[in-house]
Amino acid sequence: MSTDRTATPGVLAQELDGETILLDSTSGTYFRLNSSGTRVWEALAAGRSSEEAVTAIVEESGADPAAVRADVTALLETLEARGLVSAAA
């Protein structure tokens, strides 16, 4: 799993009621993250790795680490495909 992703320039994020709304200002496309997705986004925005986000989610929720890791990987792949995150330089 790639752990070195950052928000793509031009992507704006706003937290609202425990969820995060992402706006790709280039395309005008919105994307909504649930509370777990918000934790991943916050980790990336703070310069932490996706693995650190996995650890935080597991500690908070008690969920199975392998399941959380798979969900985080899928989320990051979706965000990357939509141009909302990219590999860090």
Mean of per-residue pLDDT scores for the chain = 90
Q: What does the pLDDT read at residue 89?
A: 64
Question: Helix, strand or coil for residue 62?
Answer: coil
Q: Where are the domains of the chain?
A: 5-83
pLDDT at 36 exceeding the cut of 50: yes
Fold annotation for 5-83 = Outer Surface Protein A; domain 3 (3.90.930)
Average pLDDT over residues 30-52: 91
C-alpha distances out from residue 15 to 3, 58, 81, Å: 23, 21, 22
Examine the pLDDT at 2 and tell me if it is beyond 80: no
- What pLDDT, on a 0 to 100 scale, did the predictor assign at position 78? 94
- Give the pLDDT confidence score for residue 59 in this predicted structure: 95
Mapped onto helix, strand or coil, the DSSP state of residue 21 is: strand
Q: What is the mean pLDDT of residues 72-85?
A: 93
